[in-house]
Amino acid sequence: MFNVLFFAQTRELIGVDEIQIEGDFATAEALREHLSQKGEKWALALEKGKLLVAINQTLMPLESLIKSGDEIAFFPPVTGG
């Protein structure tokens, strides 16, 4: 199971702060792609090339490997306080 967090505009677009999801996702990119299929707002919020990801609170490339139990956070490149 993955704990997925959403911040800033990403959170505002989908209207969700956090979800838990089960699945066999090898990379953060695979998880992003899966979530973007949930609907138009999700696709816009999680658009490829306009998103950063942190895995277990460390900024990583989207192609980074993930494993069950990881915390995955998606957010836009510029986030305000």
| Model pLDDT for residues 4-45, shown as the tens digit of each residue | 999 999 999 999 999 999 999 999 999 999 999 999 999 999
Q: Which residue has the tokens 């792609």?
A: 33
In a domain, 21, yes or no: yes
Give the number of domains in the chain.
1
pTM: 0.92
Express each pLDDT in 42-80 by its tens digit. 999 999 889 999 999 999 999 999 999 999 999 999 755
In a domain, 81, yes or no: no
In a domain, 70, yes or no: yes
In a domain, 69, yes or no: yes
Return the CATH number at 21.
Answer: 3.10.20.30
In a domain, 30, yes or no: yes
Domain span at residue 34 reads 2-75
Dihedrals phi, psi of 37, to nearest 5 degrees? -85, 0
Sheet of 52-55: strand order equals 18-21, 2-6, 71-75, 52-55, 58-60
In a domain, 43, yes or no: yes
